[in-house]
Amino acid sequence: MLLTYASVKEQAEKRRELTNRIKAIIVERLSLDIEPELITDDQPLFGRGLGLDSIDALELTVCIEDEFGVTLYDDNMEVLGSINKLADYITENME
């Protein structure tokens, strides 16, 4: 399939919109003391990355469900690894 410049641009914009929304949600719901735009898409969310812990993971799981209607399960918690992984999972499972 041939992708036109316009369709690629549209996809990229959609993706940017989604990752920005995820960042805003994480910062707001977890009351993080950081500007959402300072979180990078591949930065680890837990441990040394953004410094989240298992208690935050529980809260994050609930707010991803609330906001996107997408359920996370115990056996696919690696989805919470980074903004990109989370965005991939949400895009795959939203429809």
Partner 1 sequence: MKTLMTADDIRKLLPHRWPFLLLDRIIELKPGSSGTGLKNVTVSEPYFEGHFPTESIMPGVLIIEALAQMTAVVASTGAIEAAKQAGNTDDLDAAGRIGYLVAIRDMKFMKPVVPGDQLELKVSFGRAVGILTMVKVAAYVGKDKVVEGTISVSQRPDSGAEA
Binding site for partner 1 (CB under 8 A): 54-55, 57-59, 61-62, 65, 72, 74, 77
- Which residues lie below 8 Å from residue 32, measured CB to CB, with a gap of 6+? 26, 50
Nearer to partner 1, 79 or 83 (CB): 79
The closest alpha carbon to 32, from 15, 51, 7, 54, belongs to 51
Nearer to partner 1, 32 or 57 (CB): 57
Nearest-approach distance from CB 17 to partner 1, in angstroms: 26
- How far apart are the two ends of the chain, measured CA to CA in Å? 22
In the complex, minimum distance from the CB of residue 92 to partner 1, in angstroms, rounded to a whole number: 20
Q: Is 8 helix (H, G, I), strand (E, B) or coil?
A: helix
Report the candidate in 52, 50, 29, 53 with the shortest Cα–Cα distance to residue 39: 50
Q: Which is nearer to partner 1, 4 or 33 (CB)?
A: 33
Q: How far is the CB of 25 from partner 1 (least distance, A)?
A: 15
